[in-house]
Amino acid sequence: MTASTPGPAGAELLDRLDRLPLSKPHRRLMLQGGMGYLFEAYDGVLLGYAASALVALWSLDASMAGWVLASVFIGYLIGALLAGVLADWIGRRRVLMYALLVYAVFTLLAATASSPGELILWRILSGIGIGAEATAIVPYVSEFLPRRNRGRSIGRTIMFLGVGYVLAGLTAVTVISPQPEPGWRIACLSGILPVLLLLWWRRTMVESPRFLISKGRIAEAGGIVERFERDTAAAGDTVPPASSSDSVECEVDRLAGQTNPLRRLGALWGPGMARRSTVVCLLWFAFQAAQYGYGTWLPTLLMLKGFAISQSFAFAMAGAVAQVPGYYIAASVSEHLDRKWTIVVFLLGSVGCAAGLGTAGNAASIFCYSVALSFFMNGAASPLYAYTAEIYPTGIRTSGMGMASATARIGAILAPVVIGYLYADLGFGGVFAVLCGLLLLGTVVLAIFGLRTAGRSLEDLHAPARVKN
């Protein structure tokens, strides 16, 4: 089928795509996307470990260490905003390819830094690449997944974040801890070759049919849907018959002409979207300020509390291992309890664990609470990523994800810096009291104003007459 050949109606194509069983072509995309999250987690957390070494190597005070930790999140913010708009404009696939290349180039340069200022610059630029990559993955993958297990499948994709955290911990223990200099530089370089291999593998990725249909490129979308059907049948799974949907066709027609990036961003705060955008922005800000404030500072806070660097790394790595079952369990629960209420439950669990960690008085209790906090907090991330991609229509889906991600990065930027200043006045317990307050804020906002999404098609969620809160 060529671009000039009339293809099936967009509604029929999306219905055919949505009815496919989860099969080999879906899992391949989940793996390709999940590997991107692995590198995001590995990169972001590894600097937290490296900062513990740099505090001693470069004689950094707490405030400068905070800026080093925050630098990558400044890049994440810029990358998220750029990727959100570009992926809705030029396509998801192109953004996913170019973003990783930017990350690889500037991570290589970061490994050569000889001063805090130089490291901060290269980390901001490498963060642009990984921030753009992380923003586009879930919207892209979710647009291929069947409605009945979309949340669980997104959770399995997000679970690669946990793998990245574990690998970062192992790298810190085996590479940075024995010889901080040049260990932290070697650690930075360790992720570049796998990123280049992932780029080579991703050359087989196809564009999202939903994106193509929103641009009126029906024939191209039809070819991709047919390819997925063939690959599903070849894998031994049954391809069911489909029926068209008028509501899908209306969305396709309405969004096909949205090409102005500023209007697309404005649509996020237009009729029917403003409440959703407010909820996800507040939620993401609170969540990632707490998550990265805790995650990036924990090794250093433990050292300041008197623990050896090897022991603080071991505590953080144990928490990283606990994230993997957290992602998996939350993703499975979200198909039954719904994304909204799964997030609420896991955030409340995070509040309890953060409160316990802030008041813990011995190594055993600190270990237990830090592991449990990692389980609950990162478990909440699994349905949160899926929820954010679901609540926006195709024409502004990555713009919405980019805006939410950029807001989250503001929290991630501020938290390490603020904690660096607050620690002197509030101490270990006070820092975790602040984190508890942030998590409670996000939980309350979502519980009152959030949208239920599980089991509904992406198009059904944006049909005004059928929207349910």
Give the 3-state secondary structure of the chain: CCCCCCCCCHHHHHHHHHHCCCCHHHHHHHHHHHHHHHHHHHHHHHHHHHHHHHHHHCCCCHHHHHHHHHHHHHHHHHHHHHHHHHHHHCCHHHHHHHHHHHHHHHHHHHCCCCCHHHHHHHHHHHHHHHHHHHHHHHHHHHCCCCHHHHHHHHHHHHCHHHHHHHHHHHHHHHHHCCCHHHHHHHHHHCCHHHHHHHHHHHHHCCCCHHHHHHCCCHHHHHHHHHHHHHHHHHCCCCCCCCCCCHHHHHHHHHHCCCCCHHHHHHHCCCCCCHHHHHHHHHHHHHHHHHHHHHHHHHHHHHHHCCCCHHHHHHHHHHHHHHHHHHHHHHHHHHHHHCHHHHHHHHHHHHHHHHHHHHHCCCHHHHHHHHHHHHHHHHHHHHHHHHHHHHCCCHHHHHHHHHHHHHHHHHHHHHHHHHHHHHHHHHHHHHHHHHHHHHHHHHHHHHHHHCCCCCCCCCCHHHCHHHCCC
pLDDT at 465: 36
In order of start, what are the domains of the chain with their CATH numbers?
Answer: 10-466 (1.20.1250.20)
Q: How far is CA 170 from the centre of its chain?
A: 22
Token pair recorded at residue 310: 């090897």
Q: Which of 63, 138, 27 is nearest to 300 (CA)?
A: 63
- In this structure, the chain runs to a length of 469
User: What does the pLDDT average to over 343-347?
Assistant: 95
Q: Which of 245, 254, 247, 257 is nearest to 8 (CA)?
A: 245
List Cβ<8 Å contacts ≥24 apart for 363-366. Answer: 363/307, 363/311, 366/302, 366/315
Least confident of 136-140, 432-436, 461-465: 461-465
Whose tokens are 């830094």? That residue is: 113
Compute the distance between CA of residue 165 and CA of residue 371 in angstroms, rounded to an integer: 13
- C-alpha distance from residue 384 to each of 154, 288, 339 (Å): 10, 11, 7
Pair 137, 37: CB distance under 8 Å? yes
pLDDT at 243: 58
pLDDT band for position 180 (50/70/90)?
confident
pLDDT band for position 98 (50/70/90)?
very high
Token pair recorded at residue 301: 């806070």
Token pair recorded at residue 224: 């991709």
- Give me the amino acid identity at 427: G
The pLDDT > 90 percentage for the chain reads 23
User: What does the pLDDT average to over 96-113?
Assistant: 91
pLDDT band for position 360 (50/70/90)?
confident
pLDDT band for position 281 (50/70/90)?
very high
- What does pTM read for this prediction? 0.80
Q: Which of 43, 54, 38, 41 is nearest to 299 (CA)?
A: 54
The pLDDT > 70 percentage for the chain reads 86
